[in-house]
């Protein structure tokens, strides 16, 4: 149980740490890339400012001297690989007027790349193996409707961000592993005093049940002696009190037996045998003898496969069956109880199903809890330990028990037990 809690705590701590760090890293990554882009856009805006100044000067000169744009086809583009920023001017029909480029041949695609982009809206686009930051502006040229695209390469920055992201992920994973180890260690440390006090509590329950058993049986025997001694000395009321005392003492004895069994189970001190059990025969015999005790209003139906063998503790398996059958009888006024036993692969499936009062969805998750009795059934006599004991028996045989129920319709207990080998 403690190992399970420790593992759960470790996973929870590691998960929350991972989530927290991932969010932090994502925020960091987004802010760094936003700051970088902002800076690049500012650079481009500055560049645009300068270019516009030169181009406007150019235009003024041409107008003064009444000159047309004389740039010949061959001179439309000036290519210089060392240039940090580049620009292109296009007519409104997307024909290149002129430009300075840093990537050979980009002028052929750049208009297409920025076709549907709004003006002054920075765009990062991929072109060949380059990442480019481009901005479209209204051209300062006198040509009506012409536009200008300016840009710079952001490939290096993108590579840097990519490497940074990988480093972030690696750091996060390493950090999570460290936190997982650390929290496993700390959870283990924190568990030590809890474990100790839990063990002390278990030992106390075990010792108390053990110690109370002897005086209780002495008490019970004394009541029997009293009852058999001289009956005439008791009035009718005295007799009634005596019978009540005996019944309560018996109830307490059952309770103590149950507690002792569970205490031994908790402390791994349950002494059980590994016997060859003819399970089909055993279930048949128990259900038959049980049938005799049933009132006429309840029918018992069985579906027991022949020849199923099982290795386990016969007394415990008997006890398990009694607990389930007793509950089915106790909580069914009229209707039927169905017992089925089958073997599938290496598993044995035992089902005890009734058409009784059923269990509410609120009570259902708690029926295996110690001393738990559904509110509606409290008036029925019992200790509330039966199903806890059944669960302990099943778990001791490495099996699993579950319950399905519909309030007012009935209840079904399903036990699956692995067919173990004798060592």
In whole angstroms, what is the distance from residue 156 CA to residue 137 CA? 25
- Does 354 engage in binding with ligand ATP (CB under 6 A)? yes
| Residue number with CB closer to ligand ATP (55 or 283) | 283
325 contacts: CB under 8 Å, gap ≥ 6 = 286, 287, 290, 337, 339, 352
Q: In the bound complex, what is the minimum distance in angstroms from residue 378's beta carbon to Mg ion?
A: 13
Q: In the bound complex, what is the minimum distance in angstroms from residue 345's beta carbon to ligand ATP?
A: 28
Q: Which span sits near ligand ATP by CB under 6 A: 45-53, 130-138, 239-247, 378-386? A: 378-386
In whole angstroms, what is the distance from residue 92 CA to residue 147 CA? 7
- Does 386 engage in binding with ligand ATP (CB under 6 A)? yes
Cα 42-48-53 angle, rounded to 5 deg? 135
Strand partners, 152: 85, 133
Give the CB-nearest residue to Mg ion: 386
- Does 312 engage in binding with ligand ATP (CB under 6 A)? no
Over the window 272 to 311, marking each residue x when it contacts ligand ATP by CB under 6 A and - when it does not, the resulting string is ----------------------------------------
- Does 384 engage in binding with ligand ATP (CB under 6 A)? yes
| Residue number with CB closer to ligand ATP (10 or 332) | 332
In angstroms, how far is the first alpha carbon of the chain from the final one? 26
- Does 327 engage in binding with Mg ion (CB under 5 A)? yes
Q: In the bound complex, what is the minimum distance in angstroms from residue 349's beta carbon to ligand ATP?
A: 18
Q: In the bound complex, what is the minimum distance in angstroms from residue 288's beta carbon to ligand ATP?
A: 20
Q: In the bound complex, what is the minimum distance in angstroms from residue 208's beta carbon to ligand ATP?
A: 18
In whole angstroms, what is the distance from residue 151 CA to residue 136 CA? 9
- Of 106, 357, 393, 417, the one binding ligand ATP by CB under 6 A: 357
Q: Residue 387 in contact with residue 330, Cβ under 8 Å?
A: no
Closest to 242 measured CA to CA, from 253, 260, 230: 230
Beta strands across the sheet bearing 347-354: 298-304, 335-344, 347-354, 410-418, 400-406
Place of tokens 């583009």: 77
Q: Which span sits near ligand ATP by CB under 6 A: 67-75, 147-155, 341-349, 379-387? A: 379-387
Structure letter (DSSP) for residue 117:
P
388 contacts: CB under 8 Å, gap ≥ 6 = 258, 262, 368, 369, 370
- Does 358 engage in binding with Mg ion (CB under 5 A)? no
- Does 355 engage in binding with ligand ATP (CB under 6 A)? no
| Residue number with CB closer to Mg ion (238 or 365) | 365
Angstrom CA distances, 110 to 87, 93, 151, 245, stand at 10, 14, 10, 100
* 324-353: contacts with ligand ATP (CB under 6 A): 327-328, 331
Closest to 352 measured CA to CA, from 404, 308, 409: 404
Q: In the bound complex, what is the minimum distance in angstroms from residue 358's beta carbon to ligand ATP?
A: 6
Residue 44 in tokens = 């481009």
- Does 386 engage in binding with Mg ion (CB under 5 A)? yes
CA atoms within a 13 Å half-sphere pointing along the CA-CB vector of 4: 1
Count the residues of the shown chain that bind ligand ATP, applying the rule CB under 6 A.
Answer: 22
307 contacts: CB under 8 Å, gap ≥ 6 = 280
Over the window 278 to 317, marking each residue x when it contacts Mg ion by CB under 5 A and - when it does not, the resulting string is ----------------------------------------
Place of tokens 């470790």: 10
Over the window 96 to 135, marking each residue x when it contacts Mg ion by CB under 5 A and - when it does not, the resulting string is ----------------------------------------
Closest to 319 measured CA to CA, from 367, 269, 238, 258: 258
Binding site for Mg ion (CB under 5 A): 327, 386
Q: Give residues in contact with ligand ATP (CB under 6 A).
A: 323, 327-328, 331, 354, 356-359, 367, 372-374, 377, 382-388, 411
């Amino acid at each position: 149980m403690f190992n399970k809690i420790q593992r759960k705590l470790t996973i929870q701590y590691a998960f929350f740490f991972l989530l927290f760090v991932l969010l932090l890293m994502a925020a960091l990554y987004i802010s760094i890339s936003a700051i970088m882009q902002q800076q690049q856009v500012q650079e481009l805006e500055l560049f645009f400012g300068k270019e516009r100044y030169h181009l406007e000067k150019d235009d003024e000169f041409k107008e003064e001297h009444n000159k047309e744009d004389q740039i010949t086809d061959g001179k439309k583009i000036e290519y210089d690989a060392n240039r940090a920023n580049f620009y292109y001017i296009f007519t409104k029909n997307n024909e290149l007027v002129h430009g300075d480029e840093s990537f050979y041949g980009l002028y052929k695609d750049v208009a297409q790349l920025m076709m549907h982009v709004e003006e002054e809206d920075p765009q990062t686009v991929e072109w060949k193996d380059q990442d480019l930051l481009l901005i479209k502006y209204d051209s300062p040229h006198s040509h009506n409707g012409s536009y200008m695209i300016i840009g710079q390469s952001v490939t290096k920055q993108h590579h840097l961000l990519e490497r940074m992201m990988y480093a972030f992920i690696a750091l996060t994973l390493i950090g999570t592993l460290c936190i997982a180890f650390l929290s496993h260690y700390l959870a283990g440390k924190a568990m030590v005093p809890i474990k100790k006090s839990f063990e002390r509590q278990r030992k106390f329950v075990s010792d108390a049940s053990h110690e109370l058993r002897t005086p209780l049986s002495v008490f019970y025997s004394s009541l029997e002696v009293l009852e058999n001694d001289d009956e005439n000395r008791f009035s009718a009321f005295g007799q009634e009190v005596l019978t009540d005392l005996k019944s309560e003492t018996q109830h307490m004895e059952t309770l103590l037996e149950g507690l002792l069994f569970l205490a031994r189970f908790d402390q791994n001190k349950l002494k059980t045998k590994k016997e060859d059990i003819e399970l089909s025969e055993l279930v048949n015999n128990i259900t038959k003898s049980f049938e005799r005790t049933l009132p006429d209003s309840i029918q018992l139906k069985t579906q027991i496969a022949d020849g199923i063998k099982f290795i386990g503790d016969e007394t415990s398996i008997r006890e398990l069956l009694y607990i389930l059958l007793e509950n089915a009888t106790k909580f069914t006024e009229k209707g039927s109880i169905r017992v089925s036993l089958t073997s599938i692969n290496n598993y044995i499936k035992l089902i005890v199903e009734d058409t009784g009062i059923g269990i509410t969805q609120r009570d259902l998750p708690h029926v295996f809890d110690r001393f738990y009795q559904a509110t509606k059934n409290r008036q029925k006599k019992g200790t509330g330990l039966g199903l806890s004991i059944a669960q302990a028996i099943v778990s001791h045989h490495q099996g699993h028990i579950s319950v399905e129920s519909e309030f007012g319709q009935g209840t079904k207990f399903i036990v699956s037990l692995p067919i173990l080998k004798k060592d």
